[in-house]
Structure 1
């Protein structure tokens, strides 16, 4: 397994792919993402094999002047537009974004941190969210009505979020009522049969469903705190869309695996029996992150063999076997803080998205930091955000035009905000 060879002269995965195409996930990643805007799919990258839902947002054609501009020209135009707009705009960049985009972000973080950053700028006229669709929806839910939330590329979705479709979730809820009885009835301790919990990586429609049914949103940072909250109010939890975060968190809390049946929306009763559902403590939705599913125990074994004393940290969206084999598991911010807090030079093997790992390697040269997965395969949809799209939306704002605005309708927004407010109140232990 190659260790990190990242330097500040390698600004993005795109450059690495062009330099070493035989070691990459797909050489198509080196092309501009506008090449795939008219094609149904997530684009090349980790989730290119996932099935995209019918009707998923498409991005219109990016004007040629942005497609044909050099990196240097795009950088100059973005900086000029931001200078002109000043405090009227705030640019948010997710940890997984390519370096050429992160360089222009006013705030960089995970989806939860960036949602809070949006809250901190109520006077900005526009919030440009360099992330994926569900993140921009969340920013719209938490921003003021007068603010415009903009997603530079409408095709930047999330395959995991798309795995929990609102119609499938509603059908699941009805089937659970047939098995468990009225879902608003309480037992002697005042608990309802099931509390829905959705990961932040879900659509606004799913967050609205959760809010309407007394549930809550969680992040990878506060998942345990949220499950504790839910168990106080419900006999069991329906957790979606990521099965791995739900399983890893509940297992760490002592929930046995046999009480965590999977719900496959394409099968009656999700593929379980009525007895299994009645005995369940956590019902896991059949969803996953294509980035984190790439990590394996074999990769960890190889890292330990080649780097004695290596510290292995993985994201809790990884499969249970990988989390169990690692030294630690935590959110993207946990990983960043763990590396930042290491007093002595340390070798780190990290199981999360490659852009973040490469950035951490460049930021902390005193450590040896490499990605567990030796194949460069970034998040397909995060990669749809390119400096060309960022320059376009910013220059449109300078011209007085708002493009690619993300708006959540009131019937969905109100209950979704309730679920998010419950999440914000569920503070993880220090």
Structure 2
């Protein structure tokens, strides 16, 4: 049973997530867990085999090798660990945070020669874009992707843009007809698309600020790939469901009429996070029935009814700060990834902190980062090699950096 979960709430995850991910790295798909039902595109990266000396090593052996390699590399190395990583990885991280915080960490440390990014592919791409040319960014397991990011490909986005600009025409005033906004959870190619077309990247913490920025420059926004973050942010700003049509990339005009698109304020891409879409209002109601003093905090990637039923909504950093501000005896039901929830409970035994979903699993792709892979890449760095380097093509990186710098300037 997960740490801090009430006795009547159980947590079950596929054992393959916690033991030997190398057995599933070359299989099509995202692996067992919350994202199992998502269809991975053929371009999804796969991780090749690593030497048996790593996959067969004990936990203590891996710990000794990682610790020794870190000591040898010293300040030349920075390990970046996402909040959703397993504890066996987080303990080695020099910086722990959400994707925005870790991208900023990469930008702020020009002295490092290499960043080992313990997260997923789009995060490592962003770190490569924002870091300097002499620095390398390494993803310990290339199979650590993101199903949400894969729900919008650059070909689909460019096709949608062509259809939309045909319908909306050209503006005859200072405001553009359409501004593209992409969530951090997207490919470098889509970030570059936004940079080329007057758009911007957003995070879960500055989405409202970014939409305000966009509406100062345009009449409408197309928001991809997460429909829920876009919808929740726009609704909080006063927009109605009718002003937020859903764009389905496999249908003409995204499944909408021309008039719906003309009347739109925010066109939502049909993407989602497989972990956060599992949270429900029924789970919130059960938490309130079980605990009179429960505070429900959820991530804005959750569906709108869940966000509206919660007491608080915000990024992973917001959730962490809200719980740290709690008092002994407080009870928090949290709607986000289980590793962060369990870590918060371990850090705050004076409170009761549990995950809303009784059967939620870790992010199945984030969990591909295992100490065996971390030991492998660190020892390769010691030997002067750079395995699993994430390098964004320079012209793509230049356009993406434009959109990312706008994001960094859009502080709430």
TM-score range, shorter chain: over 0.9
8 Å contact from structure 1 (residues 186, 193) kept in 2: no
Q: Does 1:410 align with 2:394?
A: yes
Q: Give the match's secondary structure for 1:288.
A: coil
| 1:370 aligned partner | 354
1:97 to 78, 85, 91: 85
What runs of 5+ residues in structure 2 fail to find an aligned partner?
Answer: none
2:277 to 288, 293, 297: 293
Q: Residues of 1 paired with 2:3 and 2:145: CA distance? A: 29
| 1:110 aligned partner | 98
| 1:18 aligned partner | none
Q: Give the match's secondary structure for 1:210.
A: helix
8 Å contact from structure 2 (residues 275, 360) kept in 1: no
1:244 to 221, 224, 228: 228
1:146 to 130, 134, 155: 134
8 Å contact from structure 2 (residues 17, 33) kept in 1: yes
Q: Give the match's secondary structure for 1:121.
A: coil
Q: Residues of 1 paired with 2:292 and 2:172: CA distance? A: 53
Tell me how far 1:23 sits from its aligned partner.
Answer: 4.5
1:61 to 30, 34, 49: 49
Q: Residues of 2 paired with 1:352 and 1:23: CA distance? A: 14
Structural mapping, 1:262-411, within 5 Å? 262-411=246-395
Q: Residues of 2 paired with 1:75 and 1:27: CA distance? A: 21
After superposition, the C-alpha distances for 1:164-198 in whole angstroms (9 at most, x for unaligned) are 1000000000000111013xx342xx110000000
| 1:221 aligned partner | 205
1:137 to 125, 144, 153: 125
1:199 to 176, 183, 189: 183
Q: Residues of 2 paired with 1:419 and 1:300: CA distance? A: 36
Q: Give the match's secondary structure for 1:239.
A: strand
Tell me how far 1:24 sits from its aligned partner.
Answer: 1.3
Q: Residues of 1 paired with 2:358 and 2:284: CA distance? A: 11
2:37 to 46, 49, 71: 49
Tell me how far 1:366 sits from its aligned partner.
Answer: 1.1
| 1:164 aligned partner | 152
Q: Residues of 2 paired with 1:102 and 1:37: CA distance? A: 21
Q: Residues of 1 paired with 2:137 and 2:220: CA distance? A: 36
Structure 1 segments, 4+ long, off by >2 Å, are 2-6, 25-31
Tell me how far 1:342 sits from its aligned partner.
Answer: 1.6
| 1:11 aligned partner | none
Tell me how far 1:345 sits from its aligned partner.
Answer: 2.8
Q: Residues of 1 paired with 2:384 and 2:117: CA distance? A: 18
CA-based RMSD of the aligned residues comes to 1.2
Tell me how far 1:120 sits from its aligned partner.
Answer: 1.7
> What's the TM-score once normalised by structure 1's chain length?
0.93
After superposition, the C-alpha distances for 1:231-284 in whole angstroms (9 at most, x for unaligned) are 110000000000000000000000111010000001000001000000000000
After superposition, the C-alpha distances for 1:324-357 in whole angstroms (9 at most, x for unaligned) are 1111110000000001112343100000000000
8 Å contact from structure 1 (residues 3, 368) kept in 2: no
| 1:5 aligned partner | 4
In the comparison of the two structures, how many residue pairs are matched? 408
